[in-house]
Structure 1
Amino acid sequence: MDIRQLRYFIAIAEEKQITAAAQRLHMAQPPLGQQLKGMEQELGVQLVMRTGKVLELTDAGQALYKHALLLTKLMEEAETEVKEIGIGMRGKLTVGVNTLSSSPLPQLLRAFKTRYPGVTYKIQQNESAQLLRLIRERSIELAIVRLPLELSDFEVLRLQSESFYFVTAKTSTAESHAFTYGDIQCYPLILPSTEGLGLYQSIIDQFTERGLQANVIGECSDIVTLLGWVSSGDGATIIPESILKLYRGYDVQSFAIADSQLTFATGLIWLKDRYLTKAALHFIELMEEIIGRERTVKEQED
């Protein structure tokens, strides 16, 4: 038997007449009667008994009816789920983020969840180079990474750049409203990265280009630990503005860096010529909408 025959049998069981069942199924009566006879022959049991003009189910027919209802429901659910995944209403969104680029992600996911409530998520944090590897291995589809990177085989949707701020504990005696790197070199620094990675080197380069020496006493790629460490007064740090907004509640104070050319640029990336699920495509569309709105607001402010 197939799912079509089970649907035929459900109609016969519920209408209790071949004629009425055939009308419900929009088919002729003789072929439906032949389908019923074929099911009985295949199963080797009688499924219905005629009582006057009414068909009654036998015990075997009752059992088949019960299972037919369940199986057709499961089939309908499977068809619905597959179609919803195909149009992006369901499925799984897999996104990678590096330590700092995750700051805009919670707001993005909230907006995406409102629009596509049936989608589930896999969020994976790692260094940018590792995220590129995970995309190539198909462990994730998208990633938000810090730029610049070598991305010749990736599509890149650039997000809004932001400034870095000098951050100290509130107990610090720092009083300036805007620091220079010359001022900052006098403070013990805990960098939000580790030696050998792009962000670490970018911050060090700001000092080197000015003939200055950064007083680096520590490295920490975990933002929660970093801000807790700075709050204790053991050192200061340099981090993007969005991190300050996202991780409020720490006993820190922030200052603009007057002579900085360092900006925090991030981008949403995915591999070129690679199949993307509808969930991933919808996330890219959402990002493009948000970037467009931010650009419009900025132009109006200017």
Structure 2
Amino acid sequence: MVDLRQMRYFVAVAEERHFGRAAERLHMAQPPLSQQIKQLETTLGTKLFERTTRRVDLTDAGQIMLERARQILADVEALAKDVREVGAGAAGVLRVGFVGSATYRVMPAVVQLARRELPGVRLHVMGEMLTPQIEQGLLENRLDVAVLRPPVQSSELLLDALEGDSLVVALPAHHRLATGGGPVPLAELAGEDFVSYPQGSAVATITSEACRQAGFRPRVVQEATETSTLLAFVGAGMGLALVPDGARRAAASPIAYRELESAPEVGLAIAWKHGSRSGLIPPFRALAHRAVGEVRHGQPSIVHPPSPDQQERP
């Protein structure tokens, strides 16, 4: 059976690619470290490293082990932190994921409301994520609740719609379409270089379909996971991008935004795993609805906690 100590030893060797440096990092002698790694390989029945006189390389099995071991160790550390916080008096801990564009508009309002109205609750916020990443985090119980862009693939997740957000085109400041009045026809963007969220993300999927209906396929020259990075690429003149209107707050670069004719819309929803026992999800949902209302109208809006019959599957 693999124990956590062996897992930590393995990660150190895998990251250092050298037993001597790994031993120094772990504050131990090299011979017992080598022995522990050999015991781990014996337990698993496979080689994790290819050893040479100069360096240590991961086998294919070792690469898989490294990815899983890092996640397991991170989960154990998060568990220990959550337990310590609750033991120190916190009413609970809620691990929250947010998509990139919500990070700049909805998330600050949610966090402010939570600090004011749920003072005993610790929010562990992970922003600038894509919907597929968030979905995996919810399914693997690394996240308790999230604000994401539908659709999702798994029927294990429940969704509570928050709002719809029209896509706008973000353009370099010197672009020929950067100035002008009125919405831009999507077909006007044919032949342009696009920077985009990765394929499979909600916005990239909606953008691709909207362009197809307009008679062209977007020429994507660069992808970026984070909204801030995506807009930095636009500001640097690498291309234009279709982003949710709420993403405007993310840009520090000189960027022009234009509305689109018959603009496609991308949704925003709260998601959580079916069967979750966290009692913090209902108050979080209520706060998220209030936050959206305040951002949209510029004033507090009272929204009662959603009832169970408002839950809907994707």
TM bucket normalised to smaller: 0.5 to 0.7
Secondary structure of the residue aligned to 1:94 is: strand
**Residue 93 to residue 272, structure 1, CA distance change in 2 (3 Å):** same
Tell me if 1:120 matches 2:122.
yes
Tell me if 1:197 matches 2:201.
yes
* Aligned pair partner of 1:170 in 164, 169, 173: 173
Which residue number in structure 1 is paired with residue 137 of structure 2?
Answer: 134
Q: Distance in 1 between matches of 2:222 and 2:123?
A: 34
Please tell me whether the aligned partners of residues 102 and 246 of structure 2 are also in contact (alpha carbons under 8 angstroms). no
**Residue 184 to residue 93, structure 1, CA distance change in 2 (3 Å):** same
**Residue 118 to residue 127, structure 1, CA distance change in 2 (3 Å):** same
Please tell me whether the aligned partners of residues 169 and 252 of structure 1 are also in contact (alpha carbons under 8 angstroms). yes
Which residue number in structure 1 is paired with residue 103 of structure 2?
Answer: 102
Q: Distance in 2 between matches of 1:218 and 1:196?
A: 15
Q: Which runs of 5+ in 2 are unaligned?
A: 1-85, 299-314
Which residue number in structure 2 is paired with residue 187 of structure 1?
Answer: 192
1:164 positional shift: 0.7
Percent identity, aligned pairs only, is 15
**Residue 293 to residue 221, structure 1, CA distance change in 2 (3 Å):** closer
Give the TM-score taking structure 2 as reference length: 0.59
1:145 positional shift: 1.2
**Residue 171 to residue 214, structure 1, CA distance change in 2 (3 Å):** same
Q: Distance in 1 between matches of 2:236 and 2:292?
A: 37
Q: Distance in 1 between matches of 2:99 and 2:200?
A: 15
Secondary structure of the residue aligned to 2:253 is: coil
Which residue number in structure 1 is paired with residue 274 of structure 2?
Answer: 272
Q: CA RMSD in A?
A: 2.8
1:293 positional shift: 6.9
Secondary structure of the residue aligned to 2:163 is: coil
Which residue number in structure 1 is paired with residue 265 of structure 2?
Answer: 263
**Residue 220 to residue 290, structure 1, CA distance change in 2 (3 Å):** closer
Name which one, 1 or 2, has greater alpha-carbon Rg: 1
* Aligned pair partner of 2:216 in 190, 200, 212: 212
Which residue number in structure 1 is paired with residue 303 of structure 2?
Answer: none
Q: Deviations over 1:21-77 (max 9, x none)?
A: xxxxxxxxxxxxxxxxxxxxxxxxxxxxxxxxxxxxxxxxxxxxxxxxxxxxxxxxx
**Residue 228 to residue 82, structure 1, CA distance change in 2 (3 Å):** closer
Q: Which amino acid aligns with 1:194?
A: P
Figure out how many residues of one structure are paired with residues of the other and give that number: 210
Give the TM-score taking structure 1 as reference length: 0.61
Q: Distance in 2 between matches of 1:292 and 1:170?
A: 31
Tell me if 1:243 matches 2:247.
yes
Please tell me whether the aligned partners of residues 102 and 144 of structure 1 are also in contact (alpha carbons under 8 angstroms). no
1:189 positional shift: 1.2
